[in-house]
Structure 1
């Protein structure tokens, strides 16, 4: 493609320059969701793809007769956030304009939006590109939870946690995380509980939601803190030995009894629920729950040889903590 001066896409840039000036002047003015803009006004953005454009994919897109979905463009800079393959396909077809959806936000948010879009549709990102994108998002959005970044980058939450631990420098001051549901949760639940106790002492008439918002914890946790204070207990559970404080260890060091349920009828009910059966993540959850129910029904301890016990113990405790964290997260929603 012939690269003309001032045009990153190789087209005469007079019309594009004037369009960019008009667009920037308008800022975030309200208008139609999609706009038709001259291709010469656009600039290739910061792509998460390390290997650049896939020419074969561009050629396949150029052969499609139906209109392609609008591309995503950062309004302030006119950089393409998502849809660079569609853009070059339109150039290959000799088009001078393209349908655009504008994005208003920071460069960091634009990159996050671009990664999310690439993961959910179009040509998939490689595993290496998704990990590199996750590392960048961890650095630019440290308050996002591992699960939220995992969903945005198409990775597992544990992979994101590993990336965070390996790249964590100067982020120790972050005390809360924003989950994929948009809710803010403290990294240290004890701090949130202590803050809630302070607010309840200062403003006993405050609602659970108001205290939860100030303390950065869920209303259910605030309710538990209030009950503990009423009963003369500490707002924070006390850690004794290796016991998990979130299982409810009280001041008298008596563990809170976990309600036991028969897995068979519970699983039968969950397996009939269409909201779980009709999406891939829901089916994965059901499979995990079934596997756990089957595994725990057998006397598995007798099959573990002595030389493997330490490794199995470590894995069992790690998996138990993962499920426990999952349960706490559900309770906090």
Structure 2
């Protein structure tokens, strides 16, 4: 399984409009996996946005979502919108006639909305629910939505508008009809090229101490916050490495299958000094580095994926991540 996005914290996604980060409401998330949830107030302009890294024509999305309360959703209030550039081509939207139900819709460049399917039943209210969405974006395409592993809505046929080739970003929203109420809370978000229903969860690994190398200015306490602030670590010299020990949000049970390790950060470059960044993992007393990550002049989310343990070329195990000396980190590159 290849991953196009994995995250669920303020550092991973871009907040748009009336959004918040909640670290107190443990009913809004699975505390063993996530240390926060991403809240969205119900208005059409608000949500949490992330990139798929490239234009994709087929993928799965998974996320945990909690409806604090919903009223009768207005038509057009979206739960999830899949974008092609600035155009939301596919939407999972509120059904204005049935509380808690939603519509699968497609949208053209002029904003014309065509409803493709309506969910068979209401979504759970006041409960943290697993959503999985399969999108095959094509003239012989498909959009299927699963709640708690059960298929609740599906459409097969032409889902394309304006001959668009694919989708490149996602906006997670809230579809209640009244601003200030009916907020949604999101966590454990991932997009992959295979069935995400096989994923049991996405666990946050938090920097909790200095690792093997500490060449950058600043410490783990500058980068381990759940809600972003002005702290950072920085380097003005190429080939410097800073690494950190980690503690999982929950317990990674012995024998657990680990589908991927993702190192996630936000970074930016200055007008001088190193202009690139690499992510790092240290396992079995050896450092491994990602390819160069596309850093910009303003902060942007960066991610690197290791689908297997680079030391063994085998699947990651719980023992690998729990081992003493396991580190994550970053490297400055000219």
Q: Same fold (TM over 0.5)?
A: no
Q: Which has the higher contact order (CA 8 A, sep 6+)?
A: 2
State the structure with more CA Rg.
Answer: 1
Structure richer in strand, relative to its length: 2
TM-score normalised to the size of structure 2?
0.22
Structure richer in helix, relative to its length: 1
